[in-house]
Amino acid sequence: MKRTISIGVICAILLSVCGFSVNAAGMTVSAGNESCAAGGSVSIPITLAGNTGFANLGIEVEYDSSVLTLKNVTAGDTGATYTAAQSITANPYNMGWDSTSDNSFNGTLATLEFDVSDTASGNYPIQISYYKGRDGSYEDGSDVNYDENFSPLGLSYKNGSITVSGSPTASPTASPTTEPTIMPTASPTAEPTTEPTAKPSGAIIKAGAVSGFVGDTVAVPITLTSNTGFANLGIEVGYDSSVMTLKKAESAQTGATYTAAQSITANPYNMGWDSTSNNTYNGTLATLEFEIAGDATSGIYPITVSYYKGRDGNYSDGTDVNYDENFAPLNLSYVAGYVTISDTEASGKSISISNVQNDGILSFNATLKSDESITGVAIAAVYDADGTLIAVKQYTASSEIAFSFSDIQNAAMVKVFWWGSMNGMSSQAYSEKITL
């Protein structure tokens, strides 16, 4: 993208649905509602209606990966240039369409084909929202979803669902997944059941979004925000062990008693914090250090976070774990993160940072070097001491770029990325960071 982005602290990266959902008079992107038997497969159409013209359209689709496996995505014949997530395992799965002038297509944008677990039974939401970018910093109508004059489309998003009929021996009440709490079928207002914004009174646990090259080691923060007090906190973090190895997990100084999985190889990896009275800590709960395999395929790999389900998988959120000193449930929201993996660094390409000033206005120069012509985009991200992204800007890549941020508070670190494009998100060089 060619324009400046400036954001506040982001509390939810992957699961939030934008407030444009009430704009029923505008363009609408919808996920279909389908049904199938457990162990079968089902196709969900993603449709666009009321379109008066787009130059850029970027969306992401999220689903319950514990029972649904995305096997194939087929783009519709829109007449626009189509791009998508590099990995079919990405969840949310992002898709984009670009056009040099307003594209007035209406109809099926894409069809997503899912395999359904043979243990599934109930109703599973297919949630749809705008594409939030690799670091979760994109704004709807500004960085994505605009017309040829860069005016926002004002999109509405309508969730869909997959209704699965299970085997006769598996009644819905026998499943520990508590399906009734995630059913979006009662009314349109029940659709955003897993959005952090749907539970503003509850705390949010979020996995960070980071990037690295094959063979790299990356650190993923797990953060807690909006916490008003916990006596017990129990979570588990899942990842793709075929491309990443968990090497270390360290808890922050929360003031609570910390326990964790007995084996570093546990996947999901569980962590717990206990306090004799309500603990009001907010910030980074823990940092997980992963080693990326040397033969890993480039792509986006989810880091999932959820409540700890116990050794036998029968714990209930808010009852057996995650409650306050009065044993009232915390009503936690969980936000997944991801690791973006790129191939080895291109020869002769590097980033350096110089002339740093942080006296009310944060400014610095980024120098990009290459044995070849310099192309792509340069992105500067500003983080606070907890590793939370607080601002980001991007420019067309060039040999020397002057970044400047005004009205920035609590800045602790700057990281500069060099990507081949915003759509492909392929790293051109190792990122460079400085501590302020």
**Residue 200 has what pLDDT?**
38
The DSSP output letter for 268 is: S
**Residue 310 has what pLDDT?**
92
* Co-location of 205 and 164 in the same domain: no
**Residue 309 has what pLDDT?**
95
* Co-location of 134 and 224 in the same domain: no
Contact 193, 184 (CB under 8 A): yes
pLDDT single digits (tens) 260-270:
999 999 999 99
**Residue 135 has what pLDDT?**
73
* Co-location of 407 and 305 in the same domain: no
4 pLDDT band, cuts 50/70/90, is very low
* Co-location of 46 and 144 in the same domain: yes
**Residue 348 has what pLDDT?**
67
* Domain's final residue, options 315, 342, 369: 342
**Residue 101 has what pLDDT?**
82
The Cα–Cα gap between 175 and 134 comes to: 34
pLDDT single digits (tens) 293-339:
988 887 788 899 999 999 899 999 999 999 999 999 999 999 888 88
The Cα–Cα gap between 354 and 370 comes to: 17
**Residue 138 has what pLDDT?**
83
Distances (CA, A) of 407 to 44, 100, 135, 253, 297: 44, 35, 21, 29, 39
In a domain, 120, yes or no: yes
**Residue 425 has what pLDDT?**
46
CB atoms within 10 A of CB 190: 14
* Co-location of 85 and 127 in the same domain: yes
| Burial of 270 per CB tally in 10 Å (0-12, 13-18, 19+) | buried
- Is the pLDDT assigned to residue 368 strictly greater than 70? yes
CATH number at residue 430: 2.60.40.150
* Co-location of 176 and 29 in the same domain: yes
388 pLDDT band, cuts 50/70/90, is confident
> How much is the average pLDDT of 57-84?
90
The Cα–Cα gap between 28 and 69 comes to: 26
Lookup: tokens for 107: 């109809």
- Is the pLDDT assigned to residue 273 strictly greater than 60? yes
> How much is the average pLDDT of 203-230?
88
* Domain's final residue, options 312, 342, 372: 342
> What residues make up the domain containing 409?
350-435
Give all strands of the β-sheet with 350-358 in edge-to-edge order.
350-358, 361-369, 400-406
Contact 402, 365 (CB under 8 A): yes
The residue among 337, 141, 140, 365 whose CA lies nearest residue 239 is 337
Lookup: tokens for 173: 């009440």
- Is the pLDDT assigned to residue 25 strictly greater than 50? no
**Residue 275 has what pLDDT?**
94
**Residue 294 has what pLDDT?**
84
* Domain's final residue, options 309, 342, 375: 342
**Residue 168 has what pLDDT?**
37
pLDDT single digits (tens) 413-422:
898 888 766 5
> How much is the average pLDDT of 8-22?
32
What's the mean pLDDT when you consider all of the chain? 81
* Co-location of 118 and 263 in the same domain: no
Share of residues in the chain with pLDDT > 90 (%): 46
The residue among 174, 173, 190 whose CA lies nearest residue 182 is 190
pLDDT single digits (tens) 331-367:
999 988 888 887 655 446 788 999 998 888 999 999 9
**Residue 62 has what pLDDT?**
94
Paired sense of beta strands 361-369 and 350-358, if any? antiparallel
**Residue 301 has what pLDDT?**
87
180 pLDDT band, cuts 50/70/90, is very low
> How much is the average pLDDT of 48-53?
93
* Co-location of 271 and 158 in the same domain: no
* Co-location of 163 and 257 in the same domain: no
3-state secondary structure of 271: strand
Share of residues in the chain with pLDDT > 70 (%): 83
Q: List the end-to-end C-alpha distance of the chain, in Å, as a whole number.
A: 27
- Is the pLDDT assigned to residue 169 strictly greater than 50? no
The Cα–Cα gap between 376 and 254 comes to: 41
3-state secondary structure of 138: coil
Domain count, the chain: 3
**Residue 343 has what pLDDT?**
64
20 against 89, higher pLDDT: 89
* Co-location of 337 and 360 in the same domain: no
